[in-house]
Structure 1
Amino acid sequence: MQLKDFYSLNDLAVTENLATAHITINKDHDIFKGHFPGNPVTPGVCMMQIIKELTEEVVGKKLMMQSSSNIKFMAIINPEKTPNLELSLEITKTDEGYRVKNITTFEDIVALKLTSNFTEK
């Protein structure tokens, strides 16, 4: 885990090329002291790191992000109000590595959509 204690993985279910993870963001993590005090917002780059780490868990390999597209931050993830997230990862093996289409939600609200391409380290 790149960001120690930033989130906890509650469960991870994998069926064929679809993985569903439930995580809880740690509202007391130091990153929220600067992003932003009194009104914490989960940084988008941290969400992208979580998606990478979950993909590594599913495929059993260390990965490096090569590109991302269709990145849409659609709702603020405030760890004090909505720390519990569901991440849906559609993982497809490619010639170069893996393509991942993600949808992250909380309380039936879509917070993030993105597509990333990863290569093996």
Structure 2
Amino acid sequence: MSGIDGGWDRARSGGAETHRLTAWLEVYLKAQDTRRRMFPAGLMGDPAWDMMVDLFVTEAKGKRLSVSSASVATRTAQTTGLRWINRLVDEGLVIRLSDSTDRRRNFLVLSDGSWARVRDWARETSAALAAATQD
């Protein structure tokens, strides 16, 4: 990531592999939502991970995720989502950026290390799924 550009650089340089992994992660997030609908509320959540996957998908598409939208991505109460955001920022996994056009708004991007780890997880899990479903 080159400084403030964050996801924009990742979208331009990602290529076919990033497109494929992003498609897989979108399916994964939909499967997570399906799982949550099938079981009692609060039992099947992983807010920090969901947010990091959502950030990866958003950045790979060349977009930015606002703090409020990232909070929604945790699929928890807004205050809980904000606590998870603060924790991820404190751990250096996510970077908070000010919006240059609206000082009231902040964006989040994955740190370089987090981007690489989410990408590597997507690579490994998509390869394992492909291997498991081959005839």
Normalization by structure 1: what TM-score?
Answer: 0.29
Q: Flag the structure with higher strand content.
A: 1
Larger Rg: 2
The structure that is helix-richer by fraction is 2
